[in-house]
């Protein structure tokens, strides 16, 4: 029988906190990584605000991956955060310098910050959808975010939004999505 | 691949499952092959991908705002409470030790003439003659300073008073040491440094003084370890030698019982002391807080003891006056030494022994 893994850091605790929807795990990571990230960004012509913004982005990326079971523990969380921030910062710098993001990707390896869908979407389209969602109002906005971003099941969504059951949630989601498409058609 | 009723992408559930990668590999491969040749389906998939990506982006932004709010509450550097608590504990312990060792008091071990506080006068009691009629004129600037301190003592601020007088005493001692080149005759009591001291604040004033327990008989433990026994024997031998030296100095040491002089011994339990004095008493093992009062022609010595003595023992106490400024009260099992201030020694006049 294999001996249980022993972590010499808080990573297992943080991961279990994220899985149990406790934001304290992210707070712990934020505190632990703020200083080195600020140091890295300031060494590379960034500000403290840039560093904090990127660190938050990296935390969200981690959160998304853990919550959707796409995260594999191959390195310490701080390593993941550091690599993600580095990747995002280099991409942002490349964008500013009108360089090819592909070159940056090659430089920084395969640790991705966002999904392919996020990269694909243009900021103009994203703004349109954001506005359409705002117009859609509640509970449609939250329902769609819970389903597509948090990837919650219909049972979880029904519970969170106080709907009768999963079927009601599924039906509601269909209506919301249809309404969103109509709104987007009007805007595009 | 087109369905009978049109493109497969007309089925919103199918297109969503495709975009969310929820199709099995076989079905996925089949649809991907079709996408290469069907522009309508390709467009529909692209549109769905953008919507899903947009919703996710909105979700991320919302989460980011919430997270930012939460992180804004995080202090720049969260205080290391464990370390702070440990440091606080160390500080408390050090202060406790300092208090018990009296690091912060002006009463240093080498400094004599310790006055604890002046007792409040009782009704009808004569005004202390500190300023008006000192029994023995105080000499030198330091004595004057001390008197000045004492005269300014406010009754409610006894602690301040004692500190001020002790400070004055310290100054006086230092000056005395520096100025006086003349050799001083050291009595046995002076050398022993076991004797508590009185202040020369003046005669007729009530004084609180510390008596030092000089000898305790019958206290050797029955089953003491050999080293302790040796030490006890050595200590007893030393005490015996000291006693012998004192006895040999018959010219100076006079022994009387209490009844033979105008001195009244009284005793009170230490619980009768003021709370502050009780604390002080606990920090000074071997010290007996004693109040000296002048009542009519008599001097009353009130000893504050942890356990009261038998009345006979009190009555049969012996008084030794080895020098003009010192006094030893001897009971059957212990002796308590005092140093008398100028002015007070004349009050403790020894009557001829009966």
Kindly report, residue by residue over B112-168, the tens digit of the pLDDT.
443 443 444 444 444 443 333 333 344 444 444 444 444 444 444 444 445 544 555
Residues of B in contact with A126 (CB under 8 A): 53-54, 57-58
Pairing state between β B255-257 and B287-295:
unpaired
Question: Lowest-confidence range among A54-58, A179-183, B317-321?
Answer: B317-321
More confident residue, B236 or B126: B236
Q: How far apart are CA B289 and CA B196, in angstroms?
A: 10
Q: How far apart are CA B319 and CA B331, in angstroms?
A: 9
Nearest to B55 among A31, A145, A174 (CB): A145
Question: Lowest-confidence range among A90-94, B191-195, B305-309?
Answer: B191-195
What number does CATH give the domain A121-187? Answer: 1.10.10.10
Interface check for B56 against chain A (CB to CB < 8 A): the answer is yes
Residues of A in contact with B56 (CB under 8 A): 115, 117-118, 145, 148-149
The confidence score (pLDDT) of residue B59 equals: 86
Q: How far apart are CA B286 and CA B215, in angstroms?
A: 10
Nearest residue on chain A to B63, alpha-carbon basis: A60
Q: How far apart are CA B322 and CA B249, in angstroms?
A: 8
- Looking at CA atoms only, how far is residue A1 from chain B in angstroms? 35
B95's CB contacts (< 8 A; 6+ apart) are none
A-proximal residues of B, 63-122, CB under 8 Å = 63-64, 67-68, 70-71, 74, 78
Query: Is A11-114's fold the same as A121-187's?
Result: no
Interface check for B49 against chain A (CB to CB < 8 A): the answer is yes
What number does CATH give the domain A11-114? Answer: 1.10.1740
pLDDT at B342 over 50: yes
Q: Which residue has the tokens 């005793």?
A: B267
Nearest to B56 among A23, A148, A184 (CB): A148
Cβ of B67 within 8 Å of Cβ of A26? The answer is yes
Interface test with A, best of B18, B19, B57, B79 (most A CBs within 10 A): B57
- Looking at CA atoms only, how far is residue B105 from chain A in angstroms? 46
B309's CB contacts (< 8 A; 6+ apart) are B267, B331
Residues of A in contact with B52 (CB under 8 A): 117, 148
Interface check for B37 against chain A (CB to CB < 8 A): the answer is no
Question: Lowest-confidence range among B42-46, B113-117, B176-180, B328-332?
Answer: B113-117
Rg of chain A on CA atoms, in Å: 19
pLDDT category at B169 given cuts 50, 70, 90 is low
Interface check for B21 against chain A (CB to CB < 8 A): the answer is no
């Amino acid at each position: 029988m294999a001996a249980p893994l022993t972590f010499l850091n808080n990573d297992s605790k943080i991961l279990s906190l994220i899985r149990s929807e406790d934001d304290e795990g992210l707070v712990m990571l934020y505190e632990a990584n703020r200083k080195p990230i600020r140091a890295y960004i300031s060494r590379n012509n960034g500000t403290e605000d840039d560093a904090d913004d990127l660190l938050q982005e990296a935390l969200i990326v981690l959160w998304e991956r853990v919550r959707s079971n796409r995260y594999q523990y191959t390195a310490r969380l701080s390593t993941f955060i550091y690599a993600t921030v580095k990747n995002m910062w280099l991409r942002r710098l490349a964008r500013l310098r009108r360089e090819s993001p592909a070159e940056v990707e090659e430089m920084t390896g395969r640790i991705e910050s966002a999904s392919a869908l996020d990269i694909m979407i243009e900021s103009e389209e994203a703004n349109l959808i954001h506005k359409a969602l705002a117009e859609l109002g509640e509970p449609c906005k939250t329902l769609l975010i819970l389903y597509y971003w948090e990837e919650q099941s219909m049972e979880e969504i029904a519970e969170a939004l106080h709907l009768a059951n999963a079927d009601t949630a599924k039906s509601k989601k269909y209506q919301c999505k249809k309404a969103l498409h109509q709104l987007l058609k009007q805007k595009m | 691949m087109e369905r009978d009723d049109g493109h497969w992408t007309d089925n919103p559930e199918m297109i969503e499952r495709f975009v969310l990668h929820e199709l099995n590999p076989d079905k996925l491969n089949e649809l991907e092959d079709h996408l290469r040749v069907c522009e309508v389906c390709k467009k529909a998939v692209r549109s769905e991908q953008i919507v899903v990506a947009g919703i996710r982006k909105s979700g991320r932004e919302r989460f980011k705002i919430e997270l930012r709010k939460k992180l804004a509450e995080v202090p720049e550097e969260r205080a290391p409470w464990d370390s702070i608590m440990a440091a606080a504990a160390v500080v408390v312990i050090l202060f406790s030790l300092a208090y018990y060792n009296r690091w912060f008091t002006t009463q240093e071990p080498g400094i004599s003439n310790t006055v604890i506080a002046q007792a409040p006068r009782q009704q009808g009691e004569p005004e202390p003659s500190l300023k008006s009629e000192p029994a023995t004129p105080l000499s030198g600037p330091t004595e004057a300073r001390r008197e000045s301190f004492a005269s300014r003592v406010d009754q409610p601020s006894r602690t301040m008073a004692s500190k001020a007088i002790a400070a004055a005493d310290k100054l006086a001692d230092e000056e005395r040491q520096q100025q006086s080149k003349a050799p001083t005759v050291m009595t046995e009591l002076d050398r022993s440094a076991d004797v508590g001291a009185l202040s020369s604040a003046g005669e007729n004033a009530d004084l609180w003084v510390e008596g030092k327990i000089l000898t305790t008989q019958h206290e050797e433990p029955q089953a003491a370890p050999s080293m302790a026994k040796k030490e006890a024997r050595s200590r007893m031998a030393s005490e015996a030698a000291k006693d012998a030296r004192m006895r040999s100095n018959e010219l100076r040491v006079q022994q009387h019982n209490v009844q033979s002089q105008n001195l009244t011994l009284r005793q009170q339990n230490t619980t009768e002391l003021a709370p502050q004095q009780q604390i002080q008493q606990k920090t000074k093992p071997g010290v007996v807080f004693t109040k000296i009062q002048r009542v009519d022609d008599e001097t009353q010595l009130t000893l504050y003891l942890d356990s009261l003595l038998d009345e006979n023992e009190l009555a049969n106490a012996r008084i030794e006056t080895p020098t003009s400024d010192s006094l030893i009260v001897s009971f059957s099992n212990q002796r308590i030494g005092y140093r008398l201030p100028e002015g007070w020694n004349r009050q403790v006049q020894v009557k001829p022994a009966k």
